[in-house]
Chain A
Amino acid sequence: MSKSIILELENINLIINRKRILEEINLSLTRGKSYALMGPNGSGKSSLAKVIMGYPDYQPQNGGKIIFQDQDITNLSMDKRAKLGIFLSSQAPPEFDGIKVTALLQTASAPKRSRLQIRKEVEKLSQELQLEPTVVKKPLNQTASGGERKKLELLQAAILDPTLLILDEIDTGVDVDSLKTISRFIKNHFVKANKTLLLITHYQRILEHLTPDRVLVMKAGRITRSGDYSLAKLIDKKGYGWI
């Protein structure tokens, strides 16, 4: 495989509860590029993200393969995939009752970085994301608004420093100003650092801030179209019906 391909999906099929969720997905992502993954509700976008991340119950069937940075990770557990550099930002991250984001990151980063280092980085990044200190000090996502939760996801990504970021609807439930802040953050921390980005989105709003190199469209579990940014604009005008 060429060194410039960071992720390769070969013949990915997924059936859950006798329903076909993903069908014959073949995809190559080039290192350092930004991709937009669009499609109507139920087209399988989030499921594809979970397959790449390695969620239980999302194991591809029929001999499908996932190759990340030349390594076959098809049977690798989620935590190992995360350690290799894959990050998935959830659509709806769970709400914790007693764990702060700092504690999570300290555990994930030990022993490479000290607890004090992590705390300082969290403080700095929260300011950049315009996250209230009270939100960061509370248990993770507890009583946090939609926008705050997405920012907390990005804060974790910045500290974990992955090479492939899958952001599932990072723009949903986010107000105009927060969207600007989030986009700027993604640009500064990930795009400029040559990370590979897979942006799952419904709306092309965020794509105005983070222009993708390539747009992929999913429908009924398949990737049906791919094109450049103009494809996204076309969808925005005409909807998904014509595809």
Chain B
Amino acid sequence: MLVSLRTQSPTLVKLPSSLTQEQLEKWASTLLTSPFPSALPLSSSQLTLDKPGRYLIYALNSSCELEIEIKVPQTEVLVLAAYWGKGEERYSFHLEEGFHYPSCRSLVRAVSILEGAAKFSYQTTIQAKSKATNISAQQENYNLILSPKAEVETQPFLEINNGQLSCSHSSITASLDEEKLNFLLSRSLTPPQAKELLIKEILYTLEGRFKEFFGGE
């Protein structure tokens, strides 16, 4: 029974330039369960990427204050974070991502599950400088509030300084999805089982995004 999320302080992983489907599956499934072997804990809040390649930055149950400057072209950056707050816990995910050069791709996905009187603050800014053309940048935030005293504040900001990119952000804060909940109950899951599965679903989306982002064309 999944009752909590392990803690992983912000970590940087440089991925090999190509991964087989099996390797991709294996990497994805370890995200939530154990640290990557080739991972580097991020010691400072400033990260400059100056070598092109494929990067993963992720954190679990560990607040993030990060400024990522992508100072090379043709680079892919995936940022994943998950927070499961209970009691009086406070988590924050503050990220600034700056694109300086063309043809880069990035996805940021931060999710939170909040019980008790936990609080979560989400703030991201994507900046694309004038030379950063042909950029695709996506931000996604999903927050599940499970109790009356939990609170969320989200500020997904975009600052776009040139006219050649596509980016989007979305932020959704909700309680348990009624439709999905009813569906699971109609399939004989008890209310606690259904709730647990819906919480797991949110955490598993990180695996899904990892596979989509680094796998396939």
Contacts and interface: CB of A to CB of B under 8 A. Distances in A.
A and B touch in the complex (CB under 8 A): yes
Interface of A: 53-56, 77-79, 82-83, 88, 90, 93-94, 96-99, 103-104, 107-108, 139, 156, 160
B186 A88 contact: yes
B201 interface: yes
B39 interface: no
Contacts of B182: 55-56, 78
Contacts of A82: 185-188
A155 B204 CA distance: 22
B180 interface: yes
A94 B180 contact: yes
Contact of B201 (A88, A97, A108, A156): A97
Identify the interface centre among A56, A79, A94, A103: most chain B CB within 10 Å of its CB.
A79
A104 B208 contact: no
Contacts of B183: 90, 93-94
Given A79-B186, A82-B188, 12 more contacts: A56-B182, A88-B186, A90-B183, A94-B179, A94-B180, A97-B202, A97-B205, A98-B201, A104-B184, A107-B189, A139-B204, A139-B208
B189 A98 contact: no
B208 A108 contact: no
Contacts, number: 69
Interface stretch (B4-12, B52-60, B115-123, B190-198): B190-198
Contacts of A90: 183
Interface in B29-80: none
A96 B189 CA distance: 16
B200 interface: yes
Contact of A99 (B185, B186, B201): B201
A90 B197 CA distance: 19
B203 interface: yes
B21 to A, nearest CB: 11
Most chain A CB within 10 A, of B179, B185, B200, is at B185
Which of A56, A77, A99, A139: most chain B Cβ within 10 A? A99
Contacts of B177: 94
B207 interface: yes
Q: Can you list the 6 inter-chain pairs with the closest CB atoms, starting with the nearest?
A: A98-B204, A82-B188, A98-B201, A78-B185, A79-B185, A98-B205
Contact of B208 (A78, A98, A107, A160): A98
B56 to A, nearest CB: 18
A156 B197 contact: no
A48 to B, nearest CB: 15
A56 to B, nearest CB: 7
A156 B187 contact: yes
Contacts of A139: 201, 204, 208
B27 to A, nearest CB: 16
A98 B184 contact: no
7 contacts: A79-B194, A83-B188, A93-B183, A98-B205, A99-B200, A156-B187, A160-B187
Nearest to A77: B185
B194 A98 contact: no
